[in-house]
Amino acid sequence: MRIALYGYGKMGKVIEQVAIDRGHTVVLKVDSAQAGKPPVDADVAIEFSTPDHALENMRLCLAHNVPVVVGTTGWYDKLATVKTMVEEHQGSLLWASNFSIGVNLFFRVNRMLAGLMDRQPGYTTHIDEIHHVHKLDAPSGTAITLARDIELKHRRYSGFELQDEAPNASGTEGPVPILSERIGEVTGKHSVTWTSANDRLVITHEAFDRSGFATGAVVAAEWIVGRKGIFTMDDVLDVS
């Protein structure tokens, strides 16, 4: 499989190595200095650039009939526009706030737990997320996905809100509180906490390096070739 990489920073370089290890060829590596370069001769594109460039890179790939896997976050307010672009070009696009296999299983556990907690009015929740100082968006796309899944399964929460400290156990309605920290070179750590007056339940995913994200992105790229439409990692892993 011939891959075009949009975004050739630290993450892009790890994706390149994983792709090569899995027997693929990287035919194009686009950094900010080469913005706008089309994915000629590529079977699939993997987009891990910046929120400012992501939408145009998606548009470019779809216009050239190249399936695109999008790992950049911070553009989700344009999701409706992206869906329209995919339909107009009859193209293929797969997006995820996090491509780690472990994180996507963590998402499923979070949804299950939120559904159980919906029947337990004594518990309140919040999300903690920690990333490296180079990450541009806060809260992270992964934290937003966790919050939206809680909202989906828990009737007393709606939306999310960035906060400076964890709420007390008395508040049970409104947006899901998210606490974001940017520390050193932390790859990524996310926790969902449920607290009552009597106890606390915490589920956590911690990434040790970027390889898990890169492997998931390449697996997604392998999966999307030959398919049409807009997809997520749930489709790749066949989880609900």
Q: Which residues are catalytic?
A: 131, 135
Amino acid at 126: H
Q: What is the DSSP string of 126-167?
A: EEEEEE-TT---SS-HHHHHHHHHHHHH-TTEEEEEE-SSPP
d(CA 62, CA 37): 13
Half-sphere exposure of 235 (CA within 13 A, CB side): 17
d(CA 204, CA 193): 9
Amino acid at 100: S
Q: Closest Cα partner for 199 from 132, 114, 124, 135? A: 124
Q: Closest Cα partner for 215 from 237, 230, 189? A: 237
